[in-house]
Amino acid sequence: MRFEENKVGSVLIAKVLDGRIAADVALQFKAHLAGYLERGERAIVLDLGAVSFIDSSGLGALISSLKALGIERHLVVSGARGTVASMFKLTRMDKVLRLFSTTEEAVAAIS
């Protein structure tokens, strides 16, 4: 999987560059997010603006990463498009994930 990383202050913005987060890359996705936590990132904005498809495996990997955060760290999502947002809504994960329309809003929320 391909990511583009930028830092705004202490906040890491990790933009997923691939259009799909599905079963074939779910483990890579999970490992990549785990890598951010292992290197000490405490505030992560996951930008899904380029993602048009996510399946339950991709969602499960995201949830696994959320569980690994602990109390003092943040993982929020920005830019979820209609299709991805519909998946979050169907699975009720929109009640769990902090979702923001723009990366700027997300960064401001966890800075």
Partner 1 sequence: MSWLRFSFESKLDEIFLVSLVLRQVCTHIGLDEILAYQVELCAIEAVTNSVRHALHEQPGNEVTVLIRFDDAKIDLQILDCGASMPPTYVERLKHGSQVLNFDPSDIQALPESGMGLQIIHDFMDEAVYTSNGGVNCLRLMKLLRRTGI
Chain residues binding partner 1 by CB under 8 A are 20, 22-24, 52-53, 55-57, 59-61, 63-64, 66-67, 82-83, 86-87, 90-93, 95-96
CA–CA separation, 30 vs 23, rounded Å? 11
Q: Rounded to 5 degrees, what are φ and ψ at 18?
A: -80, 150
Nearest CA-CA partner of 45 in 84, 10, 96, 21: 10
Q: Which is nearer to partner 1, 20 or 109 (CB)?
A: 20
Nearer to partner 1, 8 or 55 (CB): 55
Give least dist CB 95 to partner 1, A. Answer: 4
